[in-house]
């Protein structure tokens, strides 16, 4: 199998996966920052669940497509190993993580503005908490949490990328373990030998 098959397909499908997940991430950020209510937080939570389902489906579909390419390339003994499926799923996930981190960083820092992003995020949390009954003993804890969020240093681009890649590495590994089992194809050694003998 040519190495370019893996690289070309991984880059293409990883970019598509990253683009889809970036749109989802931006939508979630916008709902938290501009929604400002418990209703929008609920909508964002549903969107996160939908995005997770779409992510799993795309990883499976892309891995299966890559498996078909590999099997077609190995004409004499077509097979697709479990390890190949797992490494492919992890690779496109990590590339997606880079794209999500880059796009999310630009959206938060240059379109919204990081200070405005933090202020809007905290205000949304306060608005949602105001719609629920909070024990008096917990008010101080929430105030400390809000102050900690507001005082945290602005993350760098590198740290944002590393954090996102690590998250998608874990997701890709978990989903990939299942997807690889579904897409693997064992080599049919005896069948191929019988075909050669008949020829």
CB-based burial of residue 132 (10 Å sphere; 0-12 exposed, 13-18 middle, 19+ buried)? exposed
> Pick from 112, 102, 100, 123: which is nearest to 25 by CA?
100
**More confident of the two residues 21 and 112:** 21
Residue-wise pLDDT for 69-112, tens only, equals: 988 887 777 888 999 999 999 999 999 999 999 999 999 888 88
Confidence of residue 14 (pLDDT cuts 50, 70, 90): very high
User: What is the pLDDT, as a whole number, of residue 194?
Assistant: 47
49-78 mean pLDDT? 91
Chain centre to alpha carbon of residue 42: 20
Residues 6+ positions from 89 with CB-CB distance below 8 Å: 59, 63, 172, 175, 176, 179, 180
pLDDT of residue 197: 44
| The predicted structure's pLDDT at residue 117 | 82
Residue 33, pLDDT above cutoff 70: yes
Q: What is the pTM of this model?
A: 0.82
pLDDT above 90 covers a percentage of the chain that reads 48
Average pLDDT, the chain: 84
Q: How large is the average pLDDT for residues 165-193?
A: 85
Tens of pLDDT, residue by residue over 123-144, are 777 777 666 666 666 666 767 7
Q: How confident is the model at residue 171 (pLDDT cuts 50, 70, 90)?
A: very high
């Amino acid at each position: 199998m040519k190495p370019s098959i893996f690289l070309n397909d991984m880059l293409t499908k990883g970019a598509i996966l990253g683009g889809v997940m970036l749109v989802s991430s931006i939508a979630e950020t916008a709902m938290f920052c501009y929604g400002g209510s418990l209703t929008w937080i609920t909508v964002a939570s549903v969107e996160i669940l939908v995005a997770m389902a779409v992510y799993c489906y795309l990883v499976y579909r892309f891995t299966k497509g890559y498996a078909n390419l590999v099997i077609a390339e190995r004409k004499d003994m077509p097979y697709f190993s479990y390890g190949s499926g797992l490494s492919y799923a992890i690779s496109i996930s990590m590339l997606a993580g880079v794209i999500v981190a880059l796009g999310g960083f630009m959206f938060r820092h240059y379109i919204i503005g990081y200070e405005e992003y933090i202020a809007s995020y905290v205000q949304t949390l306060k608005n949602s908490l105001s719609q629920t009954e909070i024990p008096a003993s917990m008010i101080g804890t929430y105030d400390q949490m809000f102050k900690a969020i507001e005082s945290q240093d602005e993350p760098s681009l590198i740290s944002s990328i590393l954090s996102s890649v690590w998250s998608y590495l874990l997701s890709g590994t978990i989903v990939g373990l299942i997807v690889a089992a579904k897409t693997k194809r064992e080599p049919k050694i005896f069948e191929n030998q019988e075909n050669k003998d008949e020829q």
